[in-house]
Amino acid sequence: MDLFHRPALAEQMAKQLLEPGLLDQGLRSGLFLSGLRRTGKTTFLRQDLIPALEAKGAIVIYVDLWADTKADPATLVHAAIRRALADLQAPGSGVLGRLARLKGVDVGAAGFKFGFQLNEVGAKGGVTLAQALTEVIELARTDLVLIVDEVQQALAGDDGAQMLLAIKAARDAINPRPDTPGHFLFIGTGSHRAQVVGMTLQGKHAFAGATSVEYPTLDGDYVAYVLQGIAQEGAPVLPSLPVATAAFNLLGRRPEELIRALRQLQREDPAEADRLLPVIASTLKGAAADVELRKLEDLGVLAGAIFDRVARVEGDATGLFTADALADYAATVGREVTADQVQRVSEELRDANLIVRKGHGTYAVTDPFVQQAWRERKMLAGPAAPQRSADAG
């Protein structure tokens, strides 16, 4: 079955970003999209939005901070920028060909010649992002869009925060110029709504004041597309569209989970499709979280106690290393627990992508879907009521 595309949505967003009307001018301060994992954000970015932006002549640089969760976010962003600039220097570059066709940019056969070395970009004492990207826009005479997927990972360390400040500095250096031949636009996407929205609301963050919106998840049109596709492929068991749409919603509008549910449904009686699909979807909803929570089990009892302290909090969790916290951990694991041990295990939880450090001593569960599943299971087991942020410290 072919990939489901969303050209109308991509075209609308590309126009708002590159050709903003009066009501869309604020997008040049930054656009942050939030949505749960595996709901199609990255597919939409790469297969629909980026082509739509490029079709309007923009240079697009994309980087996924979850491509290597152990790498420093700033390292990943700087590497992506250097690769894009290297492409602009390469003779016969596809980007250069597109700029010549859409923007009439004449760069000859040799590609762009920058007044700096690529290895200086992002290096200490080297050319700043503001200087490098300003030069790119001056040469290309077009807009440049930097897309950082899973942008909340940049909050995990000081280098990531400094990188966001450098990106903001590039925006502030390029966009206010009355004669700029192009603008610099930043798009950040993330799977943790509270963290992503917080990056635009809290004054301590580089992009405070930028626009934050929910990612427009797939809907009934996608479900109809899938049902039509599997029917054409000869699938014998087909649910009705309303039942399939309700199952899709139950599964968090995650395409992979819907396909998995429909695959399991093929083993059943066609007459029972509408009755059984909701049962299958409910089972898979728990199984999707199991994949992540199995990592937690592998890390041991102390990891589970630390994760529980983070997951029970409504906002950001603090106080993971306080005397009260250490006493709680000790009661759970049945032995004394030191702050050094908590530090080590919390690092293992971060490496497993189960929690994220948002600042000094401040943590959150990486995936709210997993957090919800954990809370539901603890509730069935009779856990304490969820705490608020203020209670966690």
For 106-162, write each residue's pLDDT tens digit: 766 678 999 999 999 988 889 999 999 999 999 999 999 999 999 998 987 788 889
The string of DSSP codes covering 100-154 is: HHHH----TTT----SS-GGGTTSTTS--HHHHHHHHHHHH-S-EEEEEETGGGG
List CB contacts of 119: < 8 A, sequence separation 6 or more.
82, 126
pLDDT reported for residue 81: 96
Q: Are 29 and 172 in contact (CB under 8 A)?
A: no
Distance CA 4, CA 229 (A): 10
Distance CA 166, CA 78 (A): 11
Low-confidence ranges of the chain (pLDDT < 50): 383-393
pLDDT reported for residue 241: 98
For residue 361 the two structure tokens come to 């001593």
pTM of the model: 0.79
Pinpoint the alpha helices (H) of 149-202.
158-174, 193-201
For 230-259, the pLDDT digits (tens) are: 999 999 999 999 999 999 998 889 999 999
pLDDT reported for residue 27: 95
pLDDT reported for residue 390: 34
